[in-house]
Structure 1
Amino acid sequence: MQEMMVSQPMAERVHVKDISTFDEAFGTVGMRVGARIGPDKRTQDDKEWYVVRRFLKEALQANLFVTPLVVWKEQPPMPDFGVEFGDARALIEITEATHPDDQREMAEFERAGNSAMLLGEFGGRFSGGASEPGHAWASDIVDAIERKAGKSIYSMDAERRHLVIYPNSNASFLVAGEEDERRVFSILAHAIERRRPEFTSVANGCAIHVLETHLVCLDLLGNRQLLTRSETKNE
């Protein structure tokens, strides 16, 4: 998922009256994230608000949540966000699907001040190209699911828990356009199916979602809805 620049101050709570006023309610909160280095360096809160804003917009339109809705930042060891809608409450955790070599490369690229780079130029994956990045992309998602084992988003007794995964790696950079995303989501579905009982046990009732640039996959381990993101529809 492509990230934007310049971080913004965070509000304690965002109140969304209805879907038509969603962007107005969030204002600058979660609009952009800063660079990895320098005076406007992004924070973890910046990244989490950026993702939760986009996820909630899609989730509301898919009736996963309803308005009026309130979202706020929680403090560790709680999951990242609390959400209140109608008479219900939910918890949301945000996590990246990535690889440490790719993250180091992204930081090195920004330090170098170049306008473009070849993948792998600064030590990331796919320095020799990739005929099929989808398997690495899917593996990154699986790693993100497994990485939360034992964390509060899986272990808490709260009924409504959601893990939102956003791909941000060299593998995801090689996935271009909605058709390509549909193909790699199909690879992911096959990888999940082979180990579904294991993942279902680990998640312990937590719904897992994947937010890509053009598509969002809701309830990966359950009903698995693959939807075109509203922002893409409106372009």
Structure 2
Amino acid sequence: MVIRAMVADDQAVVRAGFVNLLATQEDIEVVGEAEDGVAAVRVAAEQRPDLALLDIRMPHRNGIEAAREILAASDGRTKVLMLTTFDLDEYVYEALAAGASGFLLKDATFPELLHAVRVVARGDALLAPAITRRLVGEFARQRAGVLPPRPVEGLTAREAEVLVLIAKGMSNAEIAVRLTITDHTVKTHINRLFAKRGLRDRAQAVILAYELGLVRPGAGCPPSATG
């Protein structure tokens, strides 16, 4: 299956570099480029790509606004992978909340780029790399005094436990080992959790866990939850 991708970045050299690298792969086809957020939304509407690689900081319309419009127009069919810098960009939290499925550093290596594109395109969130956990944790810490407490309504104790482990960056297999249950049972809990809370992917699950207070940056063990 060929991944149809588009790249949006206001820096021509960076944009060309990503486009040229992706174009070397047989399973990836670059169907469009954009120099700002407005153009990104237009190109996405015209080409309907499987994946949009968007710079967070762009003129006229930033990557977050563009991501929100692209996701809404495509009904979530187009997945969004955000380009960010290493200095804990203040827009990362908002991008996750808007529906972005992952982040890629602008100085990422070629293998890292390809891995990110393939992971996000197949519908998963790029949460395993330490940098993404660091970004999410940092912005959750910054917002700790702003976000109102929210009860864990409608979730069973096991579903809340699975949510915590997702927020810790664990895969389904790792969760199964931790809880001593089967992979199938883990998937069942995740599907029910996502359906109950209207979650699109694991990235949104991480945000929910922080907002509910199930996970606190820097804490050794999260508080137990009941539901």
- When normalised by structure 1's length, the TM-score is 0.27
Structure with greater helix percent: 2
